[in-house]
Structure 1
Amino acid sequence: MASLTIVPVTLPEDKIPTKQNVRDIISTFLAQEWPYVDPDMLDVSYNASCTNPHCLVKRPKPAMGTPSEAVHVFIKFHSHNEGCLEIFKPLAPTKHEEALFCYEYGHTGLGAQVFGFFKTLDGTCGRVEELLLARNLQPEDVEDPIIRADVAKALATFHVMETSLEKKAVELYYDAVIHGLGTFHTMDKLKVLGREGGVSIEELVNYDFGGRLRNVVDKLESIGGKAGWCIHDVQFMNVMVKNRPSEGESKVILIDFEFVMRNYRAFDIGGHFMQKMFKWFDAESRIADCRKYTEEEKRHFCGEYAEQWNRLTGDSDTGDQVFMESEYGYLLAITFDIHNMLCFMDVHGDKDPLNLLALNKLFDEFVHQYGKLHIENP
């Protein structure tokens, strides 16, 4: 099931699959009912995102009886243009490794089931998997203690997964990102783009994130911060809330593993707390109109996380320990987003004022948290 299957399909020149293409790709792996579906009866939605081109597919239910195969299917195309930021390429999974990771995650029962990997006659690779009947996590969702606990347990379970990915040293990530942040430190091009976008980011560009990040990592190491498989991109759109979970089943599912790497578990936990304040694909503002995670909510989350971590590992971590790690992790996650946004500005000349305002919000959060933790300046 995890091997690459050649499918007798040639995509159009623009790489947007026809309904016939979609039906034939899916039928390779779901061969009982799907081969007999009329392509014209399919409901197909194609998204041409440069990093995640994909199709959402729905077929009609059989006129009689219960369907024996999935009715809702997701096709992810592994575009040749797809890939992580340059500095992370030696660390993040390749497209094939990411696909295998999704397969492994699906077989834990915690994520979407992967039906198979394919390669078309024109050389396009991808995978076919279960389409989750779920919606994106919203800021108000984590104010519900049940959903909040499910996110905590999902992250703890993810962090300790057994996977075929190579375990690379956490320090390699920080060597890379600190070097990357140093590249953008005081860069005039970024300051000019900010001015052209009507939002000054000069103070942010002149700020030594790299040196301060090194101090944060040293502090986290000194308190025994633990490592695991981190998602890194923990924005709320990458947590799905199931429409109709079964009784006793987790209400949430984690998705999008393009940046899965070894890191301190604090990165994802603190990053989750930070991401409550942002809605990165909103048309009006990247900054969410909501209150921050309260300390009480954070401590509840960390307690649930510690219980799940201990259940799976045999450790005896406390919620207080996880909470303290997450306070430093908050800073780790901010620098990841700032680095990536500055990289996007540099490469693409982005000066969208909504992105610039969000950058300054991230900067303000970093400065406040760094001061709150009384970390010495570099």
Structure 2
Amino acid sequence: MVTKTVELLKGFASHEEIMEILATVAADLGDVIDVSFLQVKPLKGAMTNEVFEINWPAKSDGHLRRVLVRLYGEGVEVFFNREDEIQTFESMSKHGQGPRLLGRFATGRVEEFIHARTLSASDLCDPEISALIATKMREFHNLDMPGEKKAQLWPRLRKWLNHAKSLCSPKDTKNFGLEVLDTEINMLQELLSEGCEGIGFCHNDLQYGNIMIDEETRSITLIDYEYASYNPIAYDIANHFCEMVADYHSDKPHVLDYRRYPTMFENGAPGLEVRQRFIRAYLSSEGKKPTKTEVGQLVNVAERYTLANHLFWGLWGLISSHVNTIDFDYKEYARQRFKQYWLKKPILLNSPSIISQDGVPNGSVAPFTI
């Protein structure tokens, strides 16, 4: 059984390099790795990288050492600069955030294993846990990190759109309405950037699998910073709300259930109240009680930023369908995100309906039926 688990790593070209790095990490911890006792456990839910938990008996007392090995997904360099991401990872560690970097190799890295529980999809609907996430998010946004302190969302969207056009067939370019997205991105940037816009260091991918909780201390740790950058804080909050519709550990991890977009917690609170509660906890986390107006303003801005979030992850899904080999229906995921964009745009921007009678966005050629 153990031998078979080690075989999991042999499917990667960098297997020998991985084993060398693991041996070095083990030596730094005072251990010697015996391959016959090495245990490899694939971790589910990752959609950009392959992630494994690696265990071996410690030399001192025989208890299990645990590390996490992250193998970078193929072709994902279009989404972020890997060296910038490593710099972010190391800066986070200096700030006391997240796991420590233990070792690097050409196609991945070894990280400290966080002894905490990764959240499940249902945890996001727990009022206590939700408040803890809101407080942690505010702390994260206030970090002084490397990088230009202005919104990176818009140039990233344009870069991804151009890359999606270069990868997609003429049929998919037409079906997903990529020809009109330049105009949509320009329009969103102009509308959403009006007035004073709070910028912070944002995680940009705050799905439940990137949040861990220590059951004893109730402390929250945010992990996986591939997409992190300076952005409007309202965008990061919007992204977290959008992730409440996903369950990446289900039989169909690509399927999004928008009935769950913060709809109800166990006490029956309606969706608006759920979002207000989260933002109230976010704004209160530094000791100052926000006014109803302040809460309402951020709720409204965050809700409008869900539109940019749908385009962001829709483009991510399209590109991933061409470059990533992880077993996940990226194209169907993209279709659902674009569908939500066209559905919600007339409501959230109070604009004339862009949905024609046959369910296709006016001015576009998206094939889905609303």
TM-score normalised by structure 1 residue count: 0.72
Match of 1:34 among 12, 31, 34: 31
Amino acid at match of 1:245: E
> Which residue number in structure 1 is paired with residue 246 of structure 2?
278
Alpha-carbon distance in 2 for matches of 1:117, 1:322: 40
Structure 1 residues 143 and 173, CA, compared in 2 at 3 Å: closer, same or farther?
closer
Structure 1 residues 298 and 38, CA, compared in 2 at 3 Å: closer, same or farther?
same
Structure 1 residues 143 and 18, CA, compared in 2 at 3 Å: closer, same or farther?
same
- SS for the counterpart of 1:298 is helix
TM-score normalised by structure 2 residue count: 0.73
Deviation at 1:355, TM superposition (A): 4.0
Say yes or no: does 1:113 pair with 2:100: yes
Match of 1:372 among 324, 347, 359: 347
Say yes or no: does 1:307 pair with 2:287: no
Match of 1:361 among 331, 336, 359: 336
> Which residue number in structure 2 is paired with residue 4 of structure 1?
none
Amino acid at match of 2:92: Y
Percent of pairs with identical residues: 19
- SS for the counterpart of 1:208 is helix
Alpha-carbon distance in 1 for matches of 2:281, 2:149: 27
- SS for the counterpart of 2:260 is coil
Alpha-carbon distance in 2 for matches of 1:212, 1:19: 44
Q: Is the 8 A contact 1:216 1:328 kept in 2?
A: no
- SS for the counterpart of 2:318 is helix
Gaps of at least 5 residues in structure 1 are 1-10, 194-200
Say yes or no: does 1:328 pair with 2:321: no
Alpha-carbon distance in 2 for matches of 1:54, 1:238: 12
Alpha-carbon distance in 1 for matches of 2:135, 2:303: 18
Deviation at 1:151, TM superposition (A): 1.6
Deviation at 1:23, TM superposition (A): 4.4
> Which residue number in structure 2 is paired with residue 147 of structure 1?
129
Q: Is the 8 A contact 1:276 1:292 kept in 2?
A: yes
Listed one character per residue, the Cα deviations across residues 60-101 of structure 1 (whole Å, up to 9, x for unaligned) are: 356859x7xx8221234568x56432xx5xxx4x43332232
Alpha-carbon distance in 1 for matches of 2:12, 2:97: 36
- SS for the counterpart of 2:49 is coil
Deviation at 1:276, TM superposition (A): 1.6
Alpha-carbon distance in 2 for matches of 1:265, 1:71: 37
RMSD (CA atoms): 4.1
> Which residue number in structure 2 is paired with residue 213 of structure 1?
185
Say yes or no: does 1:161 pair with 2:143: yes
Alignment of 1:1-378 (within 5 A): 14-17=13-16, 21=20, 23-30=22-29, 33-35=30-32, 38-45=34-41, 52-60=49-57, 71-76=65-70, 81=74, 83-85=76-78, 92=80, 94-114=81-101, 116-118=102-104, 124=106, 127-163=109-145, 165-167=146-148, 169-170=150-151, 173-178=153-158, 180-181=160-161, 189=169, 191=171, 202=175, 204-205=176-177, 208-240=180-212, 242=213, 244-247=214-217, 249-250=218-219, 252-280=220-248, 282-289=250-257, 291-293=260-262, 294-308=271-285, 310=286, 318-345=294-321, 347=322, 354-376=329-351
Amino acid at match of 2:255: I
Farther-moved stretch of structure 1 (270-279 vs 365-374): 365-374
Deviation at 1:344, TM superposition (A): 3.4
Deviation at 1:230, TM superposition (A): 1.9
Listed one character per residue, the Cα deviations across residues 254-297 of structure 1 (whole Å, up to 9, x for unaligned) are: 22111222211122210111122123565435224562201111
Structure 1 residues 343 and 190, CA, compared in 2 at 3 Å: closer, same or farther?
farther
Alpha-carbon distance in 1 for matches of 2:144, 2:58: 36
- SS for the counterpart of 1:297 is helix
Alpha-carbon distance in 1 for matches of 2:12, 2:93: 32
Structure 1 residues 344 and 73, CA, compared in 2 at 3 Å: closer, same or farther?
closer
Deviation at 1:131, TM superposition (A): 0.8
Amino acid at match of 1:374: L
Structure 1 residues 117 and 188, CA, compared in 2 at 3 Å: closer, same or farther?
closer
Gaps of at least 5 residues in structure 2 are 1-9, 263-270, 353-362, 364-370
Listed one character per residue, the Cα deviations across residues 295-347 of structure 1 (whole Å, up to 9, x for unaligned) are: 11111111111223x559x99993223212211221121111111222334x4
Amino acid at match of 1:305: Y
Amino acid at match of 2:260: R
> Which residue number in structure 1 is paired with residue 268 of structure 2?
none
